[in-house]
Structure 1
């Protein structure tokens, strides 16, 4: 087998700009030019997906960068077909870099005769010969156990901690981290501990199915700068209502930090018209023109973190070291300098 000189990156159509940013960042780290592998990922007239890799990948360590975001089915099939093409071309190892893992919300049976689609997707990914998965902020941590291959789950909270410490450096004493529901308390608590701030919870209850939730704030938010923390923002209904409830409960202002900005349907309009001062998301999902144009939505890059994680996997060194702000600080150097 030939000696692997550099890790090789290939991207589908889901988030090409993030893939290019990761390649640029890796080029900076390595001191050599790392480009995306030349390939075409196209559709026939009946929307069947076709992949052709133009470069030799025999014996190479391949990384496919492809979030399975909207359209989830198309992007998932692109990932699976690219993996098959690489394995049939004798790639030594194929790692799926999935910044946003779609179908993660279907991680358990909530009622009778429903599927566990996250497990089905995990089986499909493993079945193509993919040997490792790199993702970020899985909706449910137990999804790692759905795979029979190693899964590295990165966290956005160290990057959010750096951003909060930079953006709110003059009023950190007034900051309060808020979980928008009881299920997200662990995630919010972890970020609160990182920046040394108190924690509050918005408790959501429904009297009947389909009714608008009644929300209650647990904790005193009077005069506080509240920061709502969650992993996914889809239609933004719950998020915007939580922000309103916090203001009604005496909060001075409300900001939100959400890892994956799905932002479907009326989400952007709701956020623009809401009482939230700002919404910060990552670029794990390709932002639309509408998202980029929104005045109170800001995007934090994940390319530095993913580039370092890919290099660590390639070198065989620790990925969990990236969970520490002290490790991530130098990687994001310049972005959060005083």
Structure 2
């Protein structure tokens, strides 16, 4: 089917500010006004979700922007129902833009008689008629293999690297990148290479979920500015404890760079009262008012990188080019000035 004149964006209720931000960025890139497709996404009295698309989408290249964050089940059902509505309206192609892929932490069987829910969600998305997925920082990269359709997994590390080079200008030689657990070493090493900093690890022993028995720092962090790097901050218990352990080990300051700010329960209060000087998250999950008002939490935008990725997918050009800092600097329009 021939390519349509412009990509079309549609959004559920999960993160409307991000969807509108992506539309604004695409407007700048295209030199024309890009707006979200006029849609009604609402609930009946019994909680059932109803979707109605008010514009003609026949033959269009559609991009649904919908992170499956809290409430995960509602946002996932919105996504599936929107995809079904678009397929039944003869859209040429439907791409799911999932800035945050919920259920990703259930990517393997950790004990007997447990599900692999990430695979189940992948099956549901594919069976709905979605033909491509665009996401950011999957909890485990191998989740891409759960899909029988193309999956483009963007990384926050190039954006974080620009932020670090801007905010720690003149102090880059004091930095130490820290992984809060052994499983996140690959992610932390990637950022460490980008900012030319050494790597340390906080080894944690967990007897049961939510309870950390012991933490040990692997590496010399004395007199270093430690930057903890991870993909998800949920209740922030591990993060705050890791910051305390690093300071006890001689670190000068502790900051954190986390892609997805899930921030459940007491997370914001813990971060506010913690020894961390700052927590930097992205807006893949819509931040609450409490997050916005927290004095030591800062939010970096992902609309520029998602807008360019959508345009690259639509044009049939490389998405992996967005992994390079040189590509992102002009996309972020001087927001960060590398030191």
Range of TM-score over shorter length: over 0.9
1:188 is aligned to 188
Q: How does 1:1-338 map to 2 (within 5 A)?
A: 4-206=4-206, 211-337=211-337
Give the secondary-structure state (helix, strand or coil) at the position aligned to 1:212.
strand
Distance 1:209 1:240, change over 3 A: closer
Matches of 1:208 and 1:84, distance apart in 2: 40
Matched residue SS, 2:247 = helix
Which has the larger displacement, 231-240 or 2-11? 2-11
Deviation at 1:211, TM superposition (A): 4.9
CA–CA distance in 1 between the matches of 2:130 and 2:187? 29
Q: Tell me the distance in 2 between the aligned counterparts of 1:114 and 1:127.
A: 23
**Separation in 1 of the partners of 2:2 and 2:95?**
19
Q: Please give the alpha-carbon distance, in whole angstroms, between the structure 2 residues aligned to 1:213 and 1:93.
A: 49
- Cα offsets for 1:93-119 (capped at 9, x unmatched): 000000000000000000000000000
Q: Is the 8 A contact 2:162 2:337 kept in 1?
A: no
Cα 1:313–1:259 change in 2 (3 A) is: same
Q: Secondary structure at the match of 2:41?
A: strand
Cα separation, partners in 2 of 1:211 and 1:101, compared to 1, 3 Å = closer
Supply the distance in 2 between the matched residues of 1:309 and 1:336 (Cα, whole angstroms). 19
- Separation in structure 2 between the aligned mates of residue 167 and residue 104 of structure 1, nearest angstrom: 31
Q: Once the 2 structures are TM-superposed, how far is the Cα of residue 207 of structure 1 from its aligned partner?
A: 5.9
SS of residue matched to 1:64:
strand
In 1, Cα distance between the equivalents of 2:207 and 2:73? 34
Distance 1:74 1:207, change over 3 A: closer
CA drift of 1:212 comes to 3.0
Within 2, Cα distance between the matches of 1:106 and 1:266?
Answer: 22
Cα deviation, residue 170, structure 1: 1.2
- Take 1:97 and 1:204, find their aligned partners in 2: how far apart are those partners? 33
Aligned residues: 338
Name the TM-score, length of structure 2 as normaliser.
Answer: 0.98
| 1:261-287 deviations in Å (ceiling 9; x for gaps) | 000000000000000000000000000
2:304–2:331: 8 Å Cα contact kept in structure 1? yes
Change over 3 Å in CA distance of 1:50–1:318 after alignment to 2: same
- Distance in 2 of aligned mates of 1:78 and 1:24: 23
Deviation of residue 2 (structure 1)?
A: 7.1
Ranges in structure 1 where 5+ consecutive residues have no aligned partner: none
C-alpha deviations, 1:56-81, integer Å up to 9, x for none?
00000000000000000000000000
User: Deviations along 1:163-193, whole A, 9 cap, x unmatched?
Assistant: 0000001100000000000000000001000
Q: Secondary structure at the residue paired with 1:213?
A: strand
Separation (CA, whole Å) in 1 of partners of 2:53 and 2:226:
48
Distance 1:170 1:103 in 2: 40
1:3 shift after superposition: 5.6
- Structure 1 residues 292 and 105: alpha-carbon distance in aligned structure 2, compared to 1, 3 A threshold: same
C-alpha contact 2:165 2:337 (8 A) present in aligned 1:
no
**Structure 2: distance between partners of 1:222 and 1:22:** 41
User: In 2, distance between residues paired with 1:48 and 1:303?
Assistant: 30
**Contact 2:8–2:60 (CA under 8 A) maintained in structure 1:** yes
Between the aligned partners of 1:206 and 1:324, the Cα distance in structure 2 is 36
Cα deviation for residue 337 of structure 1 reads 2.9
